[in-house]
């Protein structure tokens, strides 16, 4: 399972970087979205995957006796998803505003509009 996810993450990163290098600003934002999803998936996988073993401690024991899934990366991913959602929605609004003001979707045309 880890191997499949690792390849998926690799493809996501590659696609994200390809999109980031495009000239279109909308595609740039799509690249950012892919990038943050790739990072989230990567954190999820790094601590190792355990199928069907919730990290619950049985009553009367100090620690579970069997291998359980590590809950911490999942908490991290949740935080990261919330943050990236906020930031990316800002990016989308920014791109929309830039379109309204500059009337271009081409990063090359955005040169020297700051004078």
Partner 1 sequence: MSPLALPVLIPLFAGSLSLLAWRWRPAQRGIAVVGTAGLLVAALWLLVEVERDGIRVLQVGDWPAPFGISLVADLLGAIMVVITGLIGLAVALYSLATTGRGHEAFGYFPLMHLLLGGVAGAFLTGDIFNLYVWFEVMLVASFALLTLGSEKAQMEGAIKYVTLNLLSSVTFLVAVGLLYGLVGTLNMAHIAQRLATLDSGLVDVLALMFMVAFGIKAAAFPLFFWLPASYHTPPVAVSALFAGLLTKVGVYALFRVFTLLFPHHPGYTHEILLWGAALTMLTGVMGAMVQFEFRRILSFHIVSQIGYMLLGLALFTPLAVLGGLFYIVHHIIVKANLFLISGIVHRLRGSYRLERLGGLYRTHPWLAVLFLIPALSLAGMPPLSGFFAKFIVIRAGLEAGAYGVTAVALLVGLLTLFSMVKIWAEVFWKAAPEEQDRASAPGQGELWLMALPAAGLALCTLLIGLQAGPLYALVEASAEQLLAPERYIEAVLGVEGRP
Binding site for partner 1 (CB under 8 A): 20, 25, 28, 32, 35-36, 39, 42-43, 46-48, 72-73, 76, 79-80, 83, 86-87, 90-91, 94-95, 97-98, 101-102, 107, 110-115
CB of 78 to partner 1, least distance (A): 12
Distances (CA, A) of 15 to 12, 32, 100, 110: 5, 10, 28, 24
* Neighbour-count burial for 58-77, b at 16+ CB within 10 Å, e otherwise: eeeeeeeeeeebeeebeeeb
CB of 21 to partner 1, least distance (A): 11
CB of 51 to partner 1, least distance (A): 18
């Amino acid at each position: 399972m880890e191997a499949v996810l690792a390849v998926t993450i690799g493809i996501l990163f590659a696609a994200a970087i390809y999109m980031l290098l495009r000239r279109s600003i909308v595609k740039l934002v799509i690249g950012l979205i892919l990038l943050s999803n790739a990072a989230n998936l990567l954190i999820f996988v790094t601590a190792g995957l355990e199928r069907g073993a919730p990290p619950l401690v049985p009553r009367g024991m100090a620690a579970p006796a069997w291998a359980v899934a590590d809950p911490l990366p999942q908490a991290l991913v949740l935080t990261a998803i919330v943050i990236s959602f906020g930031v990316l929605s800002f990016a989308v609004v920014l791109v929309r505003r830039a379109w309204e003001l500059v009337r271009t979707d081409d990063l090359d045309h955005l040169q020297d509009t700051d004078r």
